[in-house]
Amino acid sequence: MLRCSGLTLEVPGRVLCRGLDASFAPGEVWAVLGRNGTGKSTLIHALAGLTAPAAGAVELDGAPLERIDGKSRARRIGVLLQLEEGTYWGTVEEYVLLGRFPRAARWGGYTKDDADAAAAALDAVGMSAFSGQRYATLSGGERQRVRIAQILAQRPGIFLMDEPLQHLDLAHQALVLALMTARARDHAETAIMVLHEPLWIGRGCTHALVFNGEGTVEAGRAEEMLTRDRLERAYGCSLYEVAHGEGRCFVPTV
Amino acid sequence: MTSRSRVLALYGVLGAASIASLVAALALGSFPISFVSVVDSIVFPAPGVAHDVIWNLRAPRALAAFACGALLALAGTLLQVLLRNALADPYILGVSGGASLGALLAITAGASAMAMSVSAFAGAVAAIVVVFGLTYRAGDWNVYRLLLTGVVLSAGLSALISLTLVLAPEAQLKGMLFWLMGDLSQSGSPAFAALMALVLAAFGLAASLRLDLLALGELKARSLGVAVGPLQIAVFAAAALATVTAVVLGGAIGFIGLIAPHAIRLAGVAHHRALVPLSMLLGGALLTIADTAARTAWAPQQLPVGIFTALIGVPAMLFLLGRQR
């Protein structure tokens, strides 16, 4: 279980998050919401151990995150970054295989098991047909699905995903969200996802973490967090609520 | 073709090309020796003129060329992934500028070949220390700052090199130009460079999975469990060592470090476990062929090898680029 206590995040001149306490248990799907620049990505990085918080602590299964060595941490926590800076020259299959690095032997390279995990992950996002193609030739949405496949192949148990639905068409937004909620439910995994898409905010997630700006962050169960009032305050725009079956979604009034 | 069979095919082709280039380097020259005699001399060494020419004159130079080419290709591969820049070459961090200035000043002072090597070495190391010192901050080693610092320092050094060339006595100009374009005729013993090529190739292979991840960016590499800081320092040190060794032995030979890794990638191999050794074989073979051409094409006049690396490499690279979908 991933837990943060008294977590304070800062960028020069600004406090993004002050004294946040939250625990992210197996089976939970978290939506991280808030306006641009309020600190959602910074929180993802801090929970992943990629940036040190200004104060407070992040613990993984009771141990401080910074004490856990990189490879062990990567076997438990998978991170989908919002932006990837590098140019990747290899094929889709090779790209997904990189997610197996934390599980590869020091001198051995990747095995048949790794190749199987990569193939299964590509299949889960519907990208099997592209496995031999060069990664750089993919469209934005295809690339996003392959990047998700890479952390699926990693088999981390805890997924920290910064805007997993970006660039995806509606059908694939639904596929990815269904995939993550099913994994959480059926395999007791945890997904923490930064979401912007109004269609999905009220659906599938069991919990939400809302950045209100100026350092105030609220965390709780989805049904109490995802109210029109709260979201209107967080986004600073007026919303209307659409109910459909058991789900709801929030759409801005123009 | 699957990626595994493609890698094997490239090993076959480049392995054969490497052996062919070395045999050609032993056979061709102003004292003609047939390929059969070369093979004969390798298999059954017997004293004689051919034996002396092969083992005392041509073999050390062929080995020097091969090692230099392999080292430059390795340095290019490492720097392209460290700086995440496709245009990075071994000289982008000012190493050749420092070495060239050192060598030119030694020539101006009328120093011996040995002193020239020492001076080139000192210049290269000074450039590396300056670039590293100005850019390294523990915990935040910004590769863009590293890249820009290297490029800016190179520009400054090239101005000083031009100044040295302009002020130098005319008699020394030709030697200087040869050095600047790359010249293996003055190269001493290749043993150290060959050893270095093997050691650094082993480093490249040991780090190959990590290098693949580094290409995705620092954050992603860290999220997958790579200790990025130590890896970056090791890669920088290995690239610097490879470049310094090559430059001191053969002068500022251009083109190979930039092109060899790209040629392998264009042939469809991008993962470093294969990219590192294949680039080194290609770089070694290319420079050996170029050096053989440089000393035979205009015989008895020897030409700077840098001219031939470009003359052979440019059409080959343009062909590969044009073929790519």
Task: Count H helices and E strands in chain A, helices first.
Answer: 9, 12
> Is the CB of A86 less than 8 angstroms away from the CB of B84?
yes
Interface check A81 vs B, CB under 8 A: yes
- The number of distinct structural domains making up chain A is 1
Pairing status of strand A55-60 against strand A29-34:
unpaired
CB distance from A50 to chain B under 8 Å?
yes
Q: How far is CA B31 from CA A138, B51, B52, B189, B296, in A?
A: 56, 12, 11, 22, 10
| pLDDT, tens only, B209-218 | 999 999 999 9
Q: Does B3 touch chain A (CB under 8 A)?
A: yes
pLDDT band at B192 (very low <50, low <70, confident <90, very high): very high
Rounded to a whole number of angstroms, the distance from the CA of B74 to the nearest CA of chain A is: 17
pLDDT the model gives residue B237: 93
Residue B256: per-residue pLDDT: 93
Residue type, A138: L
Range of the domain at A155: 2-252
| CA dist list (Å): A19 to A6, A39, A55, A215 | 4, 14, 8, 9
Type of residue at A179: L
A86 Rama class: left (phi>0) / alpha (psi -120 to 50) / beta? beta
Interval B44-60: pLDDT, tens = 877 888 888 888 889 99
Burial class (CB in 10 A: 0-12, 13-18, 19+), B12: exposed
List the single best residue of A47, A89, A162 to mutate versus B (max B Cβ within 10 A).
A89
Alpha-carbon distances of B94 from B69, B74, B125, B163, B248, rounded to whole Å: 19, 17, 10, 17, 14
Give me the pLDDT at residue B50, please: 80
Q: What is the mean pLDDT of residues B264-293?
A: 95
Q: Report CA Rg, chain A.
A: 18
pLDDT at B139 over 70: no
To the nearest whole Å, the CA of B225 is away from the closest chain A CA by 4
Interchain CB contact of A102 with B (< 8 Å): yes
Q: Is the pLDDT of residue B325 over 60?
A: no
Chain centroid to CA A132: 26
Better-scored residue on pLDDT, B240 or B324: B240
The CATH topology of domain B3-323 is: ABC transporter involved in vitamin B12 uptake, BtuC (1.10.3470)
Q: How far is A95 from chain B (nearest CA, A)?
A: 9
User: What would the mean pLDDT of B116-131 be, rounded to a whole number?
Assistant: 91
- Residue B88 contacts A, CB cutoff 8 Å: no
Helices (H), ranges, A63-213: 70-76, 92-97, 112-124, 140-154, 170-187, 198-201
Q: Does B206 touch chain A (CB under 8 A)?
A: yes
CB contact, 8 Å: A70 with chain B?
Answer: yes
- Rg (alpha carbons) of chain B, rounded to whole number: 20
What is the chain B residue with the closest CA to A82? Answer: B220
Locate tokens 């690339």: which residue? Answer: A143
Residue A24's H or E segment, with its range, is strand A14-24
CA distance B202 to B63: 19
CB contact under 8 A, A72 and B271: no
Summarised one tens digit per residue, pLDDT across range B38-96 is: 888 888 877 888 888 888 889 999 999 999 999 999 999 999 999 888 888 888 888 88
Tokens at residue B311, please?
């003359």
- Alpha carbons within 13 angstroms on the beta-carbon side of residue A93 total 17
Cα B244 from chain centroid (whole Å):
9
Q: Within chain A, which residues score under 50 in pLDDT? A: none
Q: Is residue A189 within 8 Å of A159, Cβ to Cβ?
A: yes
CATH of the domain at A219: 3.40.50.300
Searching chain A, which residue's CA lies closest to the CA of residue B206?
Answer: A107
Beta bridge mates, A242:
A249
Backbone phi, psi, residue B2, to 5°:
-70, 165
- Kindly determine whether residue B212 and residue A74, on different chains, have CB atoms separated by under 8 Å: no
Nearest to B79 by CA among B240, B246, B269: B240
Whether pLDDT at B250 is above 80: yes
Do you know the residue count of chain A? 254
Task: Answer whether A103's CB lies under 8 Å from A75's CB.
Answer: yes
Residue with tokens 């020492």, as numbered in its chain: B118
Distances (CA, A) of A107 to A81, B5, B203, B269: 27, 22, 12, 20
- What pLDDT was estimated at residue B307? 87
A74 touches chain B (CB under 8 A): yes
A183 and A189 Cβ atoms separated by less than 8 Å: yes
Q: CB-based contact (8 Å) between B226 and chain A? A: yes
Closest CA to A191 of A221, A166, A159, A165: A159
ipTM of the complex model: 0.93
pLDDT tens-place string over residues A88-138 = 889 999 999 999 999 987 777 899 999 999 999 999 999 999 999 999 999
Residue B1 pLDDT greater than 60, yes or no:
no
What type of residue sits at position B44?
Answer: F
* Residue B209 per-residue DSSP state: H
